Structure 1
Amino acid sequence: MTTPAMRLTIIGCAGSFPGPDSPASCYLVEAPHEDGTFRLLLELGNGALGGLQRSVDLREIGAVAISHLHPDHCLDMCGFYVVRKYHPDGAFDPIPVLAPEGAGDYLSAAYGIDDGFGMDGQFDFHEWDESTPVTVGPFEVAVVTVDHPVPAYALRVSAGGKTLVYSGDTGPTEALAEFVRGADAFLCEASFVESRDNPPNLHLTGAEAGDYATRGDVGRLLITHIPVWTDRDEVLRDVKSTWDGDVELVTAGSVYDI
């Protein structure tokens, strides 16, 4: 059996808050590296830390990448901090955390740390820089700014000649149209439906996600971040109005080889 260049596991995909069937955003990306496997976590939203442990030993996470500092994308980093600092077998070594500016202070405040050191003993925070891709393990990660109420980024993750683009949270933006070009898989949010009057600068509809996938000539479209109050069938119909390729609305626990 051929080993995939990357494997994507959907830990959590509920939009904006945890739902009855899924935690908030969290995606495990794995790739071969140095005779083993490197595990990169995209997001660690509220409720996701529990489900993550069904897929991987928390000690095996090699790095975390956070698209933006909303609780449904990063708040379980507080619980992950507890695991890494207070494990009875001893504290874990720090790992890279790629995130927007101020992530360390934000997460430390969320946990209630006021000692001046924050979470630095467990996490090595690095700010995103659009001009310079970052290498972690076998992965090269590039970012582009997208349209959201807080500083937010889409992520382009490459390894072994394959590419996964993750939209993060975004309203319609031309930056995403070019950023996804040629991706083998496009993990894209679609929180809104076309039939409603949606607020601007916040999220995409399925039709908008499909349009970016079509214009970018991606290999596969994976739709995520659908809130529990949104009709998934309507989202899929919207996607198919602009995209005629391979598409799936992801669910927690799904695994994709890229």
Structure 2
Amino acid sequence: MTAIKDGAKLRYEGITFTFYRMTHPVESYAISVEYGGKRLLYTGDTGMRHDMVDIASGADMLLADVCYLNEELGTRPIAAHLSAAQAGNLAAAANVDMLLCSHLWGGRTDHSELMRQVRAAFPKAVLAEEFKSYPI
């Protein structure tokens, strides 16, 4: 058993897991998973931080917390999640191959506006679907 902390690296059967403490009122970590020359970065619950581009840089897939429409960002009581523009801009600046948008909430059943805003910065963004797999 190993305690997770910021910067911790764990290796298991050729897979490397790296943990990054994120900006959130409840302890939350981004997780980088590397295997076979491919890298997935999952943001976890987080607001934008100054080093997010460095953390996500060059990932083959960015699985991002995308909760807010751009215009909602300053209106939520806790700025602990990414807006559509922040996620799209992060993916573009980090030069990732694929952006998979998840953690969509706020009572929306129609995510078309959220995805339109993400794709304004990163046209290849994909809305994650339950039980679907996404090859890297």
With normalisation by structure 2, the TM-score equals 0.90
> Which of 224, 237, 241 is equivalent to 2:120?
241
* Alignment deviations for residues 65-115 of structure 1 (CA, whole Å, 9 cap, x no partner): xxxxxxxxxxxxxxxxxxxxxxxxxxxxxxxxxxxxxxxxxxxxxxxxxxx
Describe the SS at the equivalent of 1:227.
coil
Report the 3-state secondary structure (helix = DSSP H, G, I; strand = E; otherwise coil) of the residue aligned with 2:24: coil
Where does structure 1 differ by over 3 angstroms across 4 or more consecutive aligned residues? none
What's the CA shift for 1:228?
6.0
Deviation of 1:225 after TM superposition, in Å, equals 0.5
Give yes or no for contact 1:145–1:175 (8 Å, CA) kept in 2. Answer: no
RMSD of aligned Cα (Å):
1.5
Question: How do 1:213-232 residues align onto structure 2 when only pairs under 5 Å count?
Answer: 213-227=91-105, 229-230=107-108, 231-232=110-111
Q: Which has the larger radius of gyration?
A: 1
- Mapped partners of 2:7, 2:46: distance in 1: 20
Instruction: Structure 2: give runs of 5+ residues left out of the alignment.
Output: none
Q: Which residue of 2 aligns with 1:34?
A: none
Identity %: 28
> Structure 1 unaligned runs (5+)?
1-124
Contact 2:5–2:21 under 8 Å retained in 1: no
CA distance in 2, matches of 1:201, 1:146: 12
Asked if 1:254 corresponds to 2:107, the answer is no
Q: Which residue of 2 aligns with 1:187?
A: 63
| Aligned counterpart, 2:89 | 211
Task: Give TM-score scaled by structure 1 length.
Answer: 0.49
Q: Deviations over 1:142-196 (max 9, x none)?
A: 1111110012111110000000000000011123221000000000010111132
Question: C-alpha separation between the residues in 1 aligned to 2:128 and 2:8?
Answer: 30
After TM superposition, the structure 1 = structure 2 runs for residues 1-258 of structure 1, keeping only pairs within 5 Å, are 125-196=1-72, 197-227=75-105, 229-230=107-108, 231-244=110-123, 246-258=124-136
The CA distance in 2 between the partners of 1:254 and 1:205, in whole Å, is 23
